[in-house]
Structure 1
Amino acid sequence: MPTPLTIMFWPESAYGPTNQCIGLAAILRDRGHTIVFAAESSWAGKLAPLGFVEELVDLAEPEPAADGDADAGKFWTDFIAETAPEFRKPTVEQLSSFVAPTYQALIDGAKYCEPRLREIIATHRPDVVVEDNVVLFPALVTSGAPFVRIVSCSPLEVPGPGVPPPFSGLSSDDPAQWQAYREEFDRTHRAMWADFDAWVRAQGADALPELEFMPRANAANLYVYPAEADYLEARPLDESWTRMDSSVRETDGDYQLPAEVADRPSDSALIYLSLGSLGGADVDLMRRLVRVLGTTRHRFIVSKGPQADQIPLPDNMVGAQMLPQTKVIPQVDLVISHGGNNTTTEALHFGKPLIVLPLFWDQYENAQRVDELGFGIRLPTYSFEDAELTDAVERLLADTGLRTRLDEMGAAIRGRDGLRVGADVIEEVGARHRDSVA
């Protein structure tokens, strides 16, 4: 048995990064290590039952307590709901109206909670610190423990001259479009980045890479993307980086197909619809998808999101606010998604084709990558015609060659066992540090 370590995780408050960290942490917990989960306060009571030490962190001045339990991830669910009109804009326009404000909100949170994170680190004295976020929290890299960065967004979060710029959703085959987007990113983000970099250095951390909000020179870097979809030939990474081809958490409960969708006509496929915990907050979009898909002969399992009570389902659908996604996807024939990195990589892990309707952030590049590699179809989220969606469903279901290709690819991805690859890296980093101070 390895020497027991204390491993601290600090994910972004949204479900995607938190679930990503839960998957890794559960493996490490089962190996006998102590897991300290620093989490934004709306996660209260959600992590301790999994066998983790739960340390709560406010990202802003707490609001007066309301009746009932706060939803986990409510900080970002509220932010996304307020900002949803921006998702209808071209990605280059979202740089000023959505991407920059999102970065600023994260930066404000980092500045606010720096003392609390230092307090948690001083209390638990971790052997390794793991962050899954898109901005640095300096307390994590100045603690004396080695720092591991996780990129659980698309790998284009790590930019390079040979790949499309992050958040753009631009084609890999048309670099002529990239420069104007990069210039707009510089215009809309440089002053904010310079201020953040100065603050990071004032906290005792090293300077950040040019126009990047996270460091690269870390004890280790992990990212989640299957080799078959990766950009390594166009954007090589140094030896500090380890690819987890997938990271499918094993903590989800089982999912028994309800009779309404289990018993279906022989010509009816079973399809999973999810816009993620944040995209599901767009009630009008969810209602439109349900209406259009409700006209087909197929059966659907719908992850309705935080506004579940406002999304009634027709007779060919079942659903709930949240579902054990990693147990649902293996049972379906097709996934209709927002293109979040977890859902995209989980669909490929299980060999399922995708229809992707991106809303924000890295969802555009995941949608573009799925489409340009032929793993599925990207549709314009707010301007698709009803027939475009239903035709895409029928085309993917009828493509037996694609289904065979994805079945084989999924088996290969599962065989590479990315979850344990990532856990091994974190464990090795912590063990080296423990040995060096022994």
Structure 2
Amino acid sequence: MVPSKTIALFPEASYGAALNCVGIAQELRRLGARPVFICHPGFSGVFAEYGFPEYQLADAASEGPTDWNDFIERHKDAFRQTPLEQLETYVGPTWDAIVDTAIQVEEPLRQLLARLKPDAIVLDNVVMFPAIANAGVPWIRVVSCAETEVPDPLVPPYLSGCGGKPSKEWQVFSTHYEKVVAPAHRRFSSFLNECDVKAPASPGFLDPSPWLNLLLAPEIIRHEREVPLDPETFVFLDGCVRRETPYVPPRFASHNDAPLVLTSFGSLGAMDVSMVKRMIEVFATLPCRFLVNAGHWRDEYQDVPDNVFIDSWFPQPSVVEQASLFIHHGGNNSFCEALYYGVPSLVMPYCWDGHDNARRAEECGVGLRLNRYEWSKGGLSGAIRTLLENADMKARLKANSEKMKAAAGATRAAEEILSIAATLPMRSL
């Protein structure tokens, strides 16, 4: 009897990467594979909810990996800064924390992979783990952040929020970025060398996989490159949207026939309650229905307008499919879900690749960007009305949606992964 291929998926400790991998795993399972998840502390139950086995990396480290909610709470003042200013206050500390986590989970990860004996490992992360490099099976890199994570002379610097063509602004950001991350990179390189793994050149923390690299970058927002990526090992995906439970919008006290607008800033951005409350004051003046994702802060909202419904969680793809506008932080999952369902984006970024995606939404004519804090009531109201009334944008997004659905990104990803896994001989029971 020959078993199905076991594919271990290891997303970083973020819901964006985790839920992107769920979409791929759903297709792997449908195609007959056995997907299993390796997950950081704090993500227990996330994958089991979708019916997948979970394996935790919890207690083997001398200190638990970074509590990201606590980390964000300590650094949230940086969200008011420009991407260049955030290099010192947020990006540098984040890379330090990521390196800490990689070092801490190395031994439990090595032991777990020895037990699981996967046929391939899917790594949706921003750093290499020596245990994966030394596992003796193919590993697949997934880039579920902005395409800027994979550099090129014609692609704006990663995390910069820059646009247009190469400029002095690009160079200033790149130079400062490399300087800020240098200490973390030296520490990480030393760790990799101790584990007999070649370290990526500065300022990178993860080289491309020699087997397969999957980039969640739909064609409509894709960058032109000076050096094209090798199609044998780099595959662009037009969406990796997971299947979610259906969602029926609540009955509102008014505006039940009005356009539906989803507002969600991710699991971390929801902590900015005062800013969201300011937005709700504007929502109350508009002829729309608004769903607002409040995360763990649901109880902070008491007086809610009749045309606003607040909850701690929504099955996001199922809601976006019904929405006329998606207001979000520029997380790549959210951005790609909006594109997949043909919905314009109003992007209000606060960190990481949200800056890059906000700029790209505006450059490519699929949405608008708005400073997360420096907006007037008229500015927010005007942006919402503009996006709801832009017929040309709607038509373009609808055509793109049909194209992305036909491309079936999650299915393509699963097929490519299984093709790599098939290069190993099947194990007999």
- Fold shared, TM-score > 0.5 on shorter chain: yes
5 Å-filtered alignment, 1:229-378, equals: 229-234=221-226, 236-239=228-231, 240-250=233-243, 252-260=244-252, 264=255, 268-312=258-302, 313-378=304-369
Is the CA contact 2:332–2:354 (under 8 Å) kept in the aligned structure 1?
yes
Cα deviation, 1:238-286, whole Å, max 9, x if unaligned, reads: 2311111101001x2110111118x7365x3211111111111112222
Is the CA contact 2:8–2:121 (under 8 Å) kept in the aligned structure 1?
yes
**In the alignment, which residue of structure 1 is the partner of 2:40?**
40
- Matched letter for residue 331 of structure 2: G
1:216 aligns with 2:215: no
1:90 aligns with 2:97: no
5 Å-filtered alignment, 1:44-55, equals: 44-55=44-55
The Cα of 1:233 is off from its aligned counterpart by 3.6
Query: Deviating runs (4+, > 6 A) in structure 1?
Result: none
Q: TM-score, normalised by structure 1?
A: 0.92
User: In structure 1, how many angstroms separate the alpha carbons of the residues matched to 2:341 and 2:131?
Assistant: 37
**In the alignment, which residue of structure 2 is the partner of 1:176?**
168
Q: Secondary structure at the match of 2:140?
A: strand
- Matched letter for residue 320 of structure 1: D
RMSD: 2.2
Is the CA contact 2:158–2:353 (under 8 Å) kept in the aligned structure 1?
yes
**In the alignment, which residue of structure 2 is the partner of 1:207?**
199
Cα deviation, 1:194-225, whole Å, max 9, x if unaligned, reads: 22112112112222133101121431111101
1:225 aligns with 2:217: yes
- Matched letter for residue 50 of structure 2: L
User: In structure 2, how many angstroms separate the alpha carbons of the residues matched to 1:428 and 1:21?
Assistant: 17
Is the CA contact 2:141–2:209 (under 8 Å) kept in the aligned structure 1?
no
Aligned match for 2:91, one of 86, 99, 105: 99
Is the CA contact 1:339–1:356 (under 8 Å) kept in the aligned structure 2?
yes
The Cα of 1:407 is off from its aligned counterpart by 0.7
User: In structure 1, how many angstroms separate the alpha carbons of the residues matched to 2:346 and 2:130?
Assistant: 38
**In the alignment, which residue of structure 1 is the partner of 2:408?**
417
- Matched letter for residue 342 of structure 2: G
**In the alignment, which residue of structure 2 is the partner of 1:70?**
none
Is the CA contact 1:286–1:311 (under 8 Å) kept in the aligned structure 2?
no
Aligned match for 1:158, one of 143, 150, 154: 150
**In the alignment, which residue of structure 2 is the partner of 1:133?**
125
**In the alignment, which residue of structure 1 is the partner of 2:11?**
11
Q: Secondary structure at the match of 1:172?
A: coil
Q: TM-score, normalised by structure 2?
A: 0.94
Q: Secondary structure at the match of 1:37?
A: strand
User: In structure 2, how many angstroms separate the alpha carbons of the residues matched to 1:56 and 1:362?
Assistant: 27
The Cα of 1:435 is off from its aligned counterpart by 5.7
Moved more, 223-232 or 29-38: 29-38
User: In structure 2, how many angstroms separate the alpha carbons of the residues matched to 1:178 and 1:126?
Assistant: 41
Aligned match for 1:389, one of 373, 377, 380: 380
User: In structure 2, how many angstroms separate the alpha carbons of the residues matched to 1:188 and 1:436?
Assistant: 46
The Cα of 1:428 is off from its aligned counterpart by 0.8
User: In structure 2, how many angstroms separate the alpha carbons of the residues matched to 1:234 and 1:81?
Assistant: 39
The Cα of 1:174 is off from its aligned counterpart by 5.5
Q: Secondary structure at the match of 2:202?
A: coil
Q: Secondary structure at the match of 1:131?
A: strand
Q: Secondary structure at the match of 1:228?
A: helix
Q: Secondary structure at the match of 1:10?
A: strand
- Matched letter for residue 282 of structure 2: V
- Matched letter for residue 245 of structure 1: D
Q: Secondary structure at the match of 2:203?
A: coil
User: In structure 2, how many angstroms separate the alpha carbons of the residues matched to 1:231 and 1:435?
Assistant: 39
User: In structure 2, how many angstroms separate the alpha carbons of the residues matched to 1:19 and 1:322?
Assistant: 14
User: In structure 1, how many angstroms separate the alpha carbons of the residues matched to 2:294 and 2:44?
Assistant: 22
User: In structure 2, how many angstroms separate the alpha carbons of the residues matched to 1:410 and 1:74?
Assistant: 38
User: In structure 1, how many angstroms separate the alpha carbons of the residues matched to 2:3 and 2:114?
Assistant: 21
User: In structure 2, how many angstroms separate the alpha carbons of the residues matched to 1:320 and 1:310?
Assistant: 11
5 Å-filtered alignment, 1:72-91, equals: 75-91=67-83
Is the CA contact 2:326–2:343 (under 8 Å) kept in the aligned structure 1?
yes
**In the alignment, which residue of structure 1 is the partner of 2:106?**
114
User: In structure 2, how many angstroms separate the alpha carbons of the residues matched to 1:215 and 1:436?
Assistant: 29
The Cα of 1:160 is off from its aligned counterpart by 1.6
Number of aligned residue pairs: give it: 426
Q: Secondary structure at the match of 1:42?
A: coil
The Cα of 1:33 is off from its aligned counterpart by 2.0
Cα deviation, 1:135-179, whole Å, max 9, x if unaligned, reads: 111111110011101110001011121111010101123523100
User: In structure 2, how many angstroms separate the alpha carbons of the residues matched to 1:209 and 1:346?
Assistant: 33
User: In structure 1, how many angstroms separate the alpha carbons of the residues matched to 2:166 and 2:135?
Assistant: 43
The Cα of 1:436 is off from its aligned counterpart by 11
Cα deviation, 1:51-93, whole Å, max 9, x if unaligned, reads: 3221101386567xxxxxxxxx993222222211001111111
